[in-house]
Amino acid sequence: MIDRLREYVEHETPTGDVDALNSFADRLLARYGELGGTARREPAPTGDHVVADFPGRDEAPLLFLAHHDTVWPVGQLTWRSDDGVIHGPGVFDMKGGLVVLETALAQVRDVDHRPVRIVVVADEEIGSPSARELVTAESAGVFAAFGFEPPHPNGDLKTSRWGSTRVRIEVTGREAHAALDPESGVSAIDELVDQLILVRALVARYDSVLCNVGTITGGGRTNVVPGSAAADIGFRFVDPQTEREVLDAVTGLGPVREGAELSVRVMSSRPAWEPSSGTDELLQKVVAAAKSVGQEIGGAAASGAADTNLTGWLGVPTLDGLGPVGKGAHAVHEQIIAATLAERADLVAAIIKSL
């Protein structure tokens, strides 16, 4: 498992690097075929997604959700293994989960079980904008859905998630010489700053909204009044009502200075996955499956978002966090505990066998 994980990590796959993602998809297609599945690629402009079906008895299938893109630029980090801890780009989020999944599939290949359906997404780290319809279609009629994102720090699974929406604010101003004719200009950057202050004030009215201005671009030279600027904002919402209220207010913003033009667009959106009795019942079955292989597992809500937001929101009993135990998702110290690779594979195999 460690050797395969190293291969996967060293095949770097930043979101948006279509060639890298598609060649990694080739690896997955071949691997799922070796394991007895029927795999296909679903072309997308941000990189191809992979769907694989594994046969089983005549019952509703289990849906497993994963992704092969990472947040790290090529060359950002290198593989390192020290004292049972593995460091590298994507070991935790979520190439470790991919290795766990395929190892579990190998373990149950000759065992009677429900059919298994896998969807591996190429743009999950930016909200899966090209995969939402695919995940929706493939979740139809399934018995339950499971995600291979990182678990809670203690290894517990995730039983609900906050909603997540990416919004882009774009401002068009008017360029002019910053010293000779500043009155003729309209600063897009000044307008953007004022808009971000308004957004902060809006969010401050809610106890359960997270807001992160992730990128800001604009301008070109200090002696030119900037004619364009933009910001990408990530919002997190605990419930759909708050999400609607905040997004209606943000998308309804207008310019605060004469001559500025404002565009607010929702780039991607994952609905809040709220707790449900179906997920509670599924968790109890997973707890029993874990005991059958000598493990204890629990579940708790999570603030981060993933493709399981969609299945949970659609009413499919859903659990996430079946990847290996570690820490540092999206951080330079990203790492996993090596021993938990095999432990999580045993857990997933037990889930497949017992459901």
Q: For 142-151, what is each residue's pLDDT tens digit?
A: 999 999 999 9
pLDDT at 102: 98
Q: Which tokens hold the place of 186?
A: 């309209």
Q: Which tokens hold the place of 107?
A: 């373990």
pLDDT digits 0-9 by tens, 12-47: 999 999 999 999 999 999 999 999 999 999 999 999
Domain ranges for the chain, please list them.
2-161+273-354, 163-270
For 261, phi then psi, to 5°, come to -120, 140
pLDDT at 158 over 80: yes
pLDDT band at 206 (very low <50, low <70, confident <90, very high): very high
pLDDT at 273 over 90: yes
0.85 exceeded by pTM: yes
Pick among 3.40.50.300, 3.40.50.1820, 3.30.70.360, 3.40.50.2000: CATH of 163-270: 3.30.70.360
pLDDT band at 240 (very low <50, low <70, confident <90, very high): confident
pLDDT at 260: 98
CATH of domain 2-161+273-354: 3.40.630.10
Residues 28 and 66: beta-carbon distance below 8 Å: no
pLDDT at 157 over 80: yes
Q: Reduce the DSSP state of residue 324 to 3 states and report it.
A: coil
Nearest CA to 304 out of 22, 92, 31 is that of: 92
The set of residues, in sequence order, having a beta carbon less than 8 Å from that of 292 and lying 6+ positions away, is 350, 354
d(Cα 255, Cα 187) in Å, to the nearest integer? 12
pLDDT at 254 over 90: yes
The per-residue DSSP string of 193-221 comes to HHHHHHHHHHHTT-SSEEEEEEEEEE---
pLDDT band at 77 (very low <50, low <70, confident <90, very high): confident
**Residue given tokens 């017992």 in the structure block:** 354
pLDDT at 78 over 90: no
pLDDT digits 0-9 by tens, 276-315: 999 999 999 999 999 999 999 999 999 888 999 999 999 9
pLDDT at 22: 98
Q: What is the mean pLDDT of residues 121-141?
A: 95
pLDDT at 18: 97
Mean per-residue pLDDT of the chain: 96
